């Protein structure tokens, strides 16, 4: 089974790119972030024609997450618990039935947090603490679970082209990385690092300054696996060639293969 995560940076602007990638890569489940539209404006029919079931948690103009699945999506939950006042669409979760039982999958769009001297950074850290508490409860279920998405966190210096450039950025501040570790330390496995410890494995290149051509990238799109899912990881691919397609997102798909 192949599970992918991709910040698409506006699904309606890139529907042809996404459709072409789905036909080429054919993942079983796809977690999309930054769909940038309300549910009613999402191009659901285009994905249904390719055989995908669709679950949405959209928002007008920005944010928004979605799940696409070749298998039925059950027990869909929209929104990260812990703050009823939070109206930003950044979390969706569902369960799919697989030969070995079930797989719980979440699509996450964690706040950016910049500038770090504003309420945006306070919100980022609070959101991460909510995710830590909620993910601890998921681990207690002892199910195969994947938390997939754009975490807006550069976990380590090897995950960016030049740590000095990112030193003051909310994606790389010590508090941000510590908050990410507080989640993984619960027992979640960074899927890529379970199979690949190389530096320079990036998932995002800015549109400006020839970042892609210079390989000035960062790794901020992650898949965290519960112990029951981590034991089944067969491989992880960063499909970075998609960044060179026409009208690309600034992120690329990360695909985890599981023995299910």
Domain count, the chain: 1
CATH code of residue 221: 3.60.10.10
Rounded Cα distance, 188 and 37, in Å: 31
* Structure confidence by residue, pLDDT tens digits, 219-228: 999 999 999 9
Do the beta carbons of residue 140 and residue 181 sit within 8 Å? no
Q: By residue range, what is the domain housing residue 137?
A: 2-258
Q: What is the pLDDT of residues 49-91, one digit of tens each?
A: 999 999 999 999 899 999 999 999 999 999 999 999 999 999 9
For the chain, what is the mean pLDDT?
Answer: 97
pLDDT at residue 14 tops 90: yes
165-202: pLDDT as tens digits = 999 999 999 999 999 999 999 999 999 999 999 999 99
Residue 209 predicted with pLDDT over 90: no
Of 28, 150, 169, 221, catalytic: 150
pLDDT tens string 229-258: 999 999 999 999 999 999 999 999 999 999
Give the HSE-up count for residue 223: Cα atoms under 13 Å, Cβ half-sphere: 35
The yes-or-no answer on residue 150 being catalytic is: yes
Q: Is 34 annotated as a binding residue?
A: yes
Q: Report how far residue 221's alpha carbon sits from residue 63's, in angstroms, rounded to the nearest whole number.
A: 15
For CA atoms 134, 130, 201, 11, give the dihedral sign. Answer: positive
Give the three-state DSSP class for 254. strand
Ligand-binding annotation for 251, yes or no, is yes
Tell whether residue 53 is among the known ligand binding residues: no
User: Is 251 in the active site?
Assistant: yes
Find out whether 83 is annotated in a ligand binding site: no
Q: What percent of the chain shows pLDDT beyond 70?
A: 100
Question: Is 222 labelled a binding residue?
Answer: no
Catalytic residue among 109, 121, 151, 202: 109
């Amino acid at each position: 089974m192949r599970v992918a995560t991709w910040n698409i940076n506006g699904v309606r602007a890139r529907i042809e790119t996404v459709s072409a990638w789905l036909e080429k890569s054919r993942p079983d489940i796809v977690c999309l972030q930054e769909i940038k539209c309300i549910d009613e404006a999402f191009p659901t029919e285009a994905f249904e024609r390719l055989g995908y079931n669709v679950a949405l948690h959209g928002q007008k103009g920005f944010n928004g997450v979605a799940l696409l699945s070749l298998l039925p999506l059950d027990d869909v939950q929209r929104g990260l618990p812990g703050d009823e006042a939070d109206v930003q669409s950044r979390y969706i979760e569902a369960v799919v039935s697989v030969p070995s039982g079930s797989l719980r999958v979440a699509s996450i769009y964690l706040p950016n947090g910049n500038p770090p001297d504003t309420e945006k950074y306070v919100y980022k850290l609070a959101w991460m603490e909510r995710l830590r508490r909620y993910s601890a409860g998921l681990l207690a279920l002892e199910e195969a679970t994947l938390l997939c998405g754009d975490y807006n966190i550069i976990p380590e210096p090897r995950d960016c082209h030049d740590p000095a450039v990112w030193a003051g950025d909310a994606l790389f501040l010590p508090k941000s990385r510590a908050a990410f570790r507080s989640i993984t330390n619960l027992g979640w496995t960074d899927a890529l690092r379970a199979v690949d410890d190389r530096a320079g494995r990036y998932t995002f290149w800015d549109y400006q300054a020839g970042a892609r051509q210079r390989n000035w990238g960062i790794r901020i799109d992650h898949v965290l696996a519960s112990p029951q899912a981590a034991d089944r990881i067969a491989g992880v691919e960063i499909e970075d060639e998609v960044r060179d397609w026409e009208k690309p997102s600034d992120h690329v798909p990360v695909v985890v293969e599981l023995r299910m």
